[in-house]
Amino acid sequence: MSTPPDKRVAFVTGGSRGIGEAIVRQLANDSMHVVAVARNSEKLAGVLAGLTTAGHSVEALSIDVGDGVALAAGVEAIIEKHGRLDVLVNNAGITRDGLFMRMEDKDFDDVININLRAAFVACRAAARSMIRAKWGRIINIASVSGLIGNAGQVNYSASKAGLIGMTKSIARELAGKQVTANCVAPGFTTTDMTDVLPPQIREKVVELIPLRRFGSPADVAHMVAFLASEHAGYITGQVIAVDGGMAM
């Protein structure tokens, strides 16, 4: 069954936890039909259960975004099912941290594949529908690490810097069709990735943040929701840091 013609359809990767879950919830609250994408179907079901009960329009799609063929097919299936895809949020990402002198090729390649190549595949698959509609929002979740680098994260920083460059190029290619492409670059955000940091490391990190606190997933989700809205139609090719001032 397709969605009502006045309801935007959003496709959010990495939607089962952390920032991705917050984005799914925020876009659903903003009356979009949200397709939450992740590998873990059980976690996806948990996220969507409460939203469905509350009357929101959501669905789950269990895909490993590292499988480019499956990801492209998933995007195309959603377009065929609903007749549209208005908002694409590439949020899925992994880390394989380590000093670059000791980093294995596989750890570099895996991070590039999930964080950058998968976003490229999803953008390419979604763009044709957006071009036909002459309306679309591509929002790629980068990182402050892609702006300023981070020791021990050569692979992650490279993937996020690449995502920024790719997004700017896509923005130039699609602007004439009224499709925007932007990056949101979170700083240190309270998720399961940062929860494992020892207290002494967290204290040192907070000292580097002008606002003196970690961000929340909701901080990022609010910015994504704005960029996905009608109000952001004249913003494209931008990188907006949601980082408490780290990269200024």
What pLDDT, in 10s, does the model give residues 184-215? Answer: 999 999 987 777 778 888 899 899 999 999 99
Across 132-158, b (16+ Cβ under 10 Å) vs e yields: eeebbbbbbbbbbbbbeeeeebbbbbb
**Percentage of residues in the chain with pLDDT exceeding 90?**
92
* CA 241-246-248 angle, 5° bins: 70
Residue numbers annotated as active site: 156
9 contact partners, CB below 8 Å, separation of at least 6: 3, 32, 33, 35, 78, 82, 84, 85, 86, 87
- Residue 83 has a pLDDT of 97
- Residue 22 has a pLDDT of 98
- Residue 138 has a pLDDT of 99
| Contact criterion met (CB below 8 Å) for 82 and 9 | yes
Return the biggest CA–CA distance within the chain. 53
The DSSP output letter for 2 is P
Q: What is the mean pLDDT of residues 70-92?
A: 98
| Contact criterion met (CB below 8 Å) for 150 and 157 | yes
47 contact partners, CB below 8 Å, separation of at least 6: 15, 16, 17, 21, 24, 25, 36, 60
Tokens linked to 248: 């200024």
Q: pTM for the full model?
A: 0.96
For residue range 110-164, list pLDDT tens digits in order. 999 999 999 999 999 999 999 999 999 999 999 999 999 999 999 999 999 999 9
Across 22-52, b (16+ Cβ under 10 Å) vs e yields: bbbbbbbebebbbbbbbeeeebbeebbeebe
Tokens linked to 163: 């995502």
Residue ranges and CATH numbers for the domains of the chain are 9-241 (3.40.50.720)
- Taking the C-alpha atoms of residue 176 and residue 171, their distance in angstroms, rounded to an integer, is 9
| Contact criterion met (CB below 8 Å) for 22 and 91 | no
